[in-house]
Amino acid sequence: MARRPSALTAADGPSQTLAKGLRILDLLAQSPDPLRATDVARRFDLNLNTAGRLLATLEASGFASRNPRGEYALGAKVIAAAVRRLNIPNLANFAHPYLVALRDATSETALLVSRVGTALVLLDVVEAKHDLRVVHAPGSMVPLFPAPTGFALTMDMPAKEAVELSRKIGDPLRVIKETDVLAARNEIQKNGYLIRQAALSSAGTCTVALTVRNHGAVIAAIGIAGPSLRWNEKVARPHAKLFRQIAHDLTHALDRA
């Protein structure tokens, strides 16, 4: 059973604000679901305005994130640090040459992502050299679904559990169907990769997703993303052999590490 965070009182000492913020982070880390400001206020016997102000400060600093329903979870900075600690040691270093090879072969942005809860965390990015390109900063965090890499990362998860994860994101437009999950898995199993147009982006992007495994378990995914006017299924398909080879070689390298 997760331990219950202690109450926030005047006995916290001279650094009360810092202490309160750290205890709220601890609460967010323990909670399986995002929390509202009212939940935090009630748990620590805080004024709602105080809880809201502390959460807003954590969000502005990147230590907490807020979904469209106004619920809070751990932010990109905390998650990225955790992923670096808990993943295969030097995963980004292992994967970087493969990302460079994919970028050079396709001329599009290649990125390495891992999953924490309902979020994708960018572990490494090798950007395309075009002026018009997909841009993400390492350490940034985006919703798990409907990103193609999100489907790749949940390959080992029961389909119904993946659907439930999408509901926890807090955005109705990001809720997926069980048929979506099964279709994506069939495509990855058949071809070794998944190709999808962005469903929620006005920018018109297309992403190819590959799974990265370590001793059989999915631990990360690689995405090759670019504007669909230049990078689309017709352009990507000729690279199929390279996609499968990269996924195989990186998985093999990790298994030997």
Question: pLDDT tens for residues 145-180?
Answer: 999 999 999 999 999 999 998 998 878 888 999 999
Q: Is the peptide bond before 14 cis (omega within 30 degrees of 0)?
A: no
> What angle separates helix 16-30 from helix 37-44, to the nearest 10 degrees?
120
Give me the domains of the chain, ranges plus CATH numbers: 10-74 (1.10.10.10), 81-256 (3.30.450.40)
Question: pLDDT tens for residues 42-75?
Answer: 999 999 999 999 999 998 888 888 887 888 888 7
